[in-house]
Chains A and B, each alone.
Chain A
Amino acid sequence: MMEILNNVLADQFRYLLPEIILVAAACVVFLGGTWRADRNLWGLFSLAGLVAALAALSLTSDWEAPGGMVAVFAAPLQWDGLTTLTRIMALGGGVVLLLFAWKEVPDRQAADHHACLLIIVAGVGLVAAANDLITLFLALELISIPTYVLLYLPKHDEAAQEAALKYFLLSIFSSALLLFGFSYLYGMTGTTNLSAILHTLNQETSARDIPILGQVAMIMIVAGLGFRITAVPFHFYAPDVYQGTSNVGAALLAFMPKVAGFVALLRVFGFVLPDGVTPRGGLAGTGLSDQLPILLWFLAALTMFLGNLLALLQDNIKRLLAYSSVAHAGYMLVALASTPFLYGDTSGPNAASALLYYLVAYGAMTIGAFCVLSYLSTPSRSVESVDDLAGLGQSQPRVALLMTIFLFSLIGIPLTAGFNGKFLVIFGAMAVPGEHTHLYVLLAVLAMVNAAIGGWYYLRLVAVMYLRTSHKPLQPERHTPALATLLVCAILTIGLSLPPAANWLLEATRNAVAPKSLPARVVQSDR
């Protein structure tokens, strides 16, 4: 028994290869940057690091994680479909953001910036793999700390300072909340292993007799992670920070923490677990199974409405996109809120897979939209207000077309990934069976109302680009890496809505959340 356990622990390092490569590459870039300030050199090196990590991932992800249930109940990390998919999302996002950052970051800051980016990517991968509260917390911090640096690096004005400081303070605050929640989970169950915690909560033990502890834990965890996914009421930093920081910083903030936050929520609440850990999956059966969906329901509704309504009032594009990212967090929360009721059913409508699908789609279209702003900006003139885009359809027809694709995808017009994402999310919410059907149909109606509100302000941008003329057309310089980012995002946005890519992604998300059967050697860890 101890033998197996020790072997499992010793084995963990092999699977960590992609993250090890990323951190090693980051170290080299950090150090090397102090000798040579060259964005092309360090950009290429970081790109090579990301590609190497992807290659390592493709080598390691095929290995069947050994140890069965022992691994599940003892190892600090677990290697299932969700881990692999999240790592692919993080690495892919890393490549896109790296190309995006090429232009925005000056030579002097390039090395530090790219190294921070690599560490963030590694952190997101580790969040997905975490099977232990401490590992999870450390992985989340591995994302946060480089983010503070990254927000401040490309721009040094007062707004950027404010953005970095605001994010720093609030992030620390949210981490504290999260730790507080984790401590309650530990107090209730006496273990930090996630699977063991959920298993224990599902047993007939004294921990179930004190539901208030569980509720405090739940609320604190949702609050702590809610900061990362910009859920209302933890969203209020978003507009200021997005506006203050560089475009690439905003794009990164819109994507990476959301991936990490949602995956962490899936993990902590046990929505993705191997078969047999708990009888019905996740928190079902615990005292929390009733309250959690209600909490998420209200959070989703509030987040959608607040994000969309406030976005209507914005004249600054980055603020508008910040509120739009809040709104999209709301749509994803709809999926998260319906997940507890569709656990395990991966053939029909499935909310957890819809959430992951939406994350990918959202990443492509949002990073794309920010990249358009970055592409159009020149050192002398940065694109800030909505009016700056006037007449883009005439002066820059190709860039305008790309922006239109992203915006229509954000609205959710068919033939874009955004539509498929919304469809899957709503489909999941509509398919919630049993007594909660009415609540979730109502949530779906609210989501649709919000999609219509969202249509108004995204369409405003399209209208400005095509239906107005500009007195001072933008004169962007041609820039290959940024253009590559735009094309990749556009291809993903369109391609992921059509077969066969749409089906690949759907299949991958379904596999990621499908309960995996493990060898039957069920051994519970000693506590």
Chain B
Amino acid sequence: MNEPTFDLTTYYPIFLYLVVILGFAAVAMVAVHLIGPRRRTAVKEMPYESGMDPIGDARQRFDVKFYLVAIMFLVFDVELLFLYPWAVVAYQEGGIPLVLRGPVFWGVLAFLAMLLIAYIYDWRKGVFKWR
């Protein structure tokens, strides 16, 4: 077995990437400081104009509804993550082998059905009612 050679030069794209990122950040900050217009009001002085107050207790209460929506979104997000790769390779030459196409198809359908059931469950439980 060959000794794996460790050569720093193979990593140069990473360093290049680092330089670009740092450079961009620096340039952007400096540019904003130089050419940005300024109106000094109390609101404008905040780092995020329409967001949370960054100073104070970090443990603030959120309405649980935000979480529910976020979780629902996540579920559909993951669904896409599964469906895209399957759709790409499903009927392609060299993709899913022939004998497995049937089982995988039904598997995907079962997955969709599961999501549907979850969706209906959420609906019935009143997740979508805003208050």
Contact = CB atoms under 8 A, between A and B. Distances in A.
| Contact between A and B in the complex (any CB pair below 8 Å) | yes
Q: Which of A2, A6, A35 has the most CB of B within 10 A?
A: A6
A35 B124 contact: yes
A6 B125 contact: no
A9 B101 CA distance: 11
B100 A9 contact: yes
A364 to B, nearest CB: 34
Contacts, number: 28
Interface string A1-41: 01100110110010000000000000100110011000000
A35 B123 CA distance: 12
A6 B117 contact: no
A480 interface: no
Q: Pick the most buried of B1, B97, B98: most chain A CB atoms within 10 A of its CB.
A: B97
Contacts of B124: 31, 34-35
A206 interface: yes
Interface in B109-131: 114, 117, 120-121, 124-125
27 contacts: A2-B97, A3-B99, A6-B97, A6-B98, A6-B99, A6-B100, A7-B99, A9-B99, A9-B100, A9-B103, A10-B99, A10-B100, A10-B102, A10-B103, A27-B114, A27-B117, A30-B117, A30-B121, A31-B117, A31-B120, A31-B121, A31-B124, A34-B121, A34-B124, A34-B125, A35-B124, A206-B1
Contacts of A9: 99-100, 103
Given A10-B100, A31-B124, 16 more contacts: A2-B97, A6-B98, A7-B99, A9-B99, A9-B100, A10-B99, A10-B102, A10-B103, A13-B103, A27-B114, A27-B117, A30-B117, A31-B120, A34-B121, A34-B124, A206-B1
Interface string A270-287: 000000000000000000
Contacts of B114: 27
A3 B99 CA distance: 8
Contacts of A6: 97-100
Interface of A: 2-3, 6-7, 9-10, 13, 27, 30-31, 34-35, 206
B57 to A, nearest CB: 20
Interface of B: 1, 97-100, 102-103, 114, 117, 120-121, 124-125
B124 to A, nearest CB: 3
A27 B111 CA distance: 12
A6 B103 CA distance: 11
Contacts of A7: 99
A512 B100 CA distance: 30
B120 to A, nearest CB: 6
A34 B100 CA distance: 36
A31 B118 CA distance: 8
Nearest to A13: B103
A10 B104 CA distance: 9
Nearest to B124: A34
Contacts of B98: 6
A121 B125 CA distance: 24
A2 B99 CA distance: 11
A6 B101 CA distance: 10
A249 to B, nearest CB: 21
A42 to B, nearest CB: 14
Nearest to A30: B121
Contacts of A206: 1
